[in-house]
Structure 1
Amino acid sequence: MWRGKTWEFTRPAEQDRTGDYGSDSKFTVSGCLYWTSSEVEESFGRNTITASGILAVPHTKDVRVTDRPKSPAGDKFTIVGQARWGEAHPLTGRRFGFKFFEVKEVQ
C-alpha cells in the first residue's frame, strides 16, 4: 500500500440566512498523493510558474471541489475539477481507494 502525505484543506464558510459569512474551517487528510502533470513559465511583467497536477485523496474523505488544498511543503493549490474515480468500478464493484482531483498552483 502507498504511504501518502498529510495535506491541509481550507473549507470556505457558507453564507447564513442574512448573507454573512462565518470563518473558514481547516482540516487535514492523511494518505494523499500528488504528481505534477505540467509546468508552464509565463512572463506577464513578472515571472510566473503555473503548475497543474493530480491530487489523489482517500475515497472515504469528505473533500469538496470548493476546498483549497495546501501541500506539506506549504504550496497552495486550487481544485479545478470534480472528483474522478471515487466510486466503485461499474462492472466489478472494486474500489481503488482514491478519488482524484485536478489541481492548479500559481507561483
Structure 2
Amino acid sequence: MSDGEPELAAAVREFHEDIPHRFQVSLTMSMETRDLLRAVRDDLNDAAGERVFTTDDAIRLALESGARYHAVATGDREASGADPLAALAASIRRAVDDEGDPESGDG
C-alpha cells in the first residue's frame, strides 16, 4: 500500500457516509457507462480494502467531479490534490483511460 492510500481509503469511506442512503433512483444507462461506473467502484473499494463504495457513490462522484471539473483542471486551490474529491476522481480518470488501452483487456 502506498503512502497516499490510507488517505484515499478514508476519503472513500467519508464520501460514502456523507449522503443518506434511504433514497433510490432508477437509471437507465448504456452497458459502457455501467462498466465504467463498476470499474470506478471496484477501484475505490480496492483502495479502501473493503466493499464500502457503491455504484450510487460512483455516480455521485462522477456528477460532482463533472460539476467541479473547471476548478480541478485549472488548479483552483480549493480543488487541489488536498481535496479528497480530487483523489477519488483519479479513479474516474483511470477507468476512462483504461477503457481505450488495449493492454488493459477492456478496450
Normalising by structure 1, we get a TM-score of 0.29
Bigger CA radius of gyration: 1
Question: Which protein is richer in strand relative to its size?
Answer: 1
Question: Which protein is richer in helix relative to its size?
Answer: 2
